């Protein structure tokens, strides 16, 4: 399946209009239809059959550039059921979780299909993605969005409506991505299904979720020391000699955590540094490392 269209624009596909001020609109091409803006109407028939990179004018002679939306541009404007994983975090997951062509990957949950689309591209035609989504309406939205983003539903994708924790007896996988409220509840499944050296990656929004997931990974004694981080993205203003950071930035969206599966029977290396005083004080309610009890 070709995940990227080329050639002239055709009826039914989505395009991206950009004006001189950087305002953008995603529209679906329909013969005979017009897209209305404050600067006049854009005729779809002026676009259908023409190549990417053209400039069309509205009825009031206002210009728009026309391109097919890139995947990261499409996902931020796709119809949503659940909140999406934004491009800055999807990029980190693909790299830090080392999603490779041919990889066998589990994803929970599918949400609106944002990360799903990136994963399907990354694993290629030889890999397999097993997505689990609790809500049927979210799963249907994810399927629709993936089909639109990738111009079809790949054979490498299995979407299941149900709880991932009920799939502990499935085949071995290389990577597990957990985008859920309580990813620590899937650690037993990760111990069962991840190959030695495989990676579990958690995507969580709050510090309390982050702490509980990390401490649960440590308590399981089946993974390397977890690595946690977040990514902040800031665009720059470029105007002659006025080159400076933008005043606004894409700040916190979520925390990411990765850890690697140890071989059966092996235990993680002991930490060489003791926790900071008070790290496991009387108010701490999560799991505790056994050697600190």
Query: For tokens 């620590």, what's the residue?
Result: 184
Q: How many other C-beta atoms are found inside a 10 Å radius of the C-beta of residue 261?
A: 21
pLDDT on residue 50: 96
pLDDT digits (tens, 9 = 90+) for 229-252: 999 999 999 999 999 999 988 889
pLDDT at 101 over 80: yes
Assess whether 175 and 254 both reside in one domain: yes
- Helix boundaries (H) for the chain: 71-75, 87-96, 114-123, 136-150, 187-193, 207-220
Flag whether 87 is in a domain. Answer: yes
Assess whether 88 and 187 both reside in one domain: yes
Flag whether 188 is in a domain. Answer: yes
pLDDT digits (tens, 9 = 90+) for 35-50: 999 999 999 999 999 9
pLDDT at 183 over 70: yes
Confidence of residue 123 (pLDDT cuts 50, 70, 90): very high
Assess whether 88 and 222 both reside in one domain: yes
Q: How many other C-beta atoms are found inside a 10 Å radius of the C-beta of residue 103?
A: 21
pLDDT digits (tens, 9 = 90+) for 197-229: 999 999 999 999 999 999 999 999 999 999 999
Residue ranges for the known binding site for S-adenosyl-L-methionine are 112-115, 133, 163, 179
Three-state SS letters, 2-15: CCCCCCCCCCCCEE
CATH of the domain at 109: 3.40.50.150
Assess whether 164 and 252 both reside in one domain: yes
Distance (Å, whole) CA 290 – CA 147: 47
CATH of the domain at 58: 3.10.330.20
Q: How many other C-beta atoms are found inside a 10 Å radius of the C-beta of residue 178?
A: 25
Confidence of residue 293 (pLDDT cuts 50, 70, 90): very low
Between 105 and 1, where is the model more confident? 105
Instruction: Work out how many domains the chain is built from and give that number.
Output: 2
Range of the domain at 135: 73-264
Distance (Å, whole) CA 82 – CA 139: 10
Assess whether 160 and 45 both reside in one domain: no
Smallest CA-to-CA distance from 9 within 59, 73, 69, 72 is with 69
Between 83 and 211, where is the model more confident? 211
Assess whether 172 and 253 both reside in one domain: yes
Residue ranges for the known binding site are 112-115, 133, 163, 179
Sheet holding 24-28, edge to edge: 24-28, 14-18, 63-67, 54-57
Which of 69, 97, 112 is the last residue in one of the domains?
A: 69
């Amino acid at each position: 399946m070709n995940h990227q269209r080329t050639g002239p624009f055709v009826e039914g596909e989505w395009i991206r209009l950009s004006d001189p001020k950087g305002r953008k609109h995603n529209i679906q091409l329909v013969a005979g239809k017009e897209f209305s803006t404050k600067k006049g109407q854009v005729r779809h028939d002026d676009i259908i059959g023409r190549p990417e990179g053209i400039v069309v004018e509205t009825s009031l002679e206002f210009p728009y550039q026309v391109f097919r939306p890139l995947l990261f541009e499409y996902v931020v404007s796709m119809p949503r059921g659940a909140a999406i994983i934004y491009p800055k975090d999807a990029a980190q997951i693909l790299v830090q979780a080392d999603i490779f062509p041919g990889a066998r990957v589990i994803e929970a949950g599918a949400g609106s299909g944002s990360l799903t689309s990136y994963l399907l591209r990354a694993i290629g035609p030889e890999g397999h993605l097993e997505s689990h989504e609790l809500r049927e309406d979210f799963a249907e939205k994810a399927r629709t969005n993936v089909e639109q983003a990738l111009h079809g539903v790949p054979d490498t994708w299995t979407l299941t409506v149900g709880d991932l924790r009920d799939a502990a007896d499935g085949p071995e996988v290389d990577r597990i991505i957990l985008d859920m409220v309580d990813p620590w509840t899937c650690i037993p499944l990760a111990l069962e299904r991840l190959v030695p050296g495989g990676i579990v990656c958690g995507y969580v929004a709050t510090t309390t979720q982050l702490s509980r997931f990390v401490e649960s990974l440590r308590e399981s004694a089946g993974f390397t020391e977890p690595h946690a981080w977040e990514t902040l993205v800031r665009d720059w203003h470029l105007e002659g000699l006025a080159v400076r950071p933008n005043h606004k930035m894409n700040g916190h969206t979520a925390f990411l955590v990765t850890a690697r599966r140890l071989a059966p029977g092996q235990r993680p290396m002991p930490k060489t540094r003791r926790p900071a005083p008070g790290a496991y004080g009387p108010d701490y309610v999560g799991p505790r490392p056994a050697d600190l009890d």
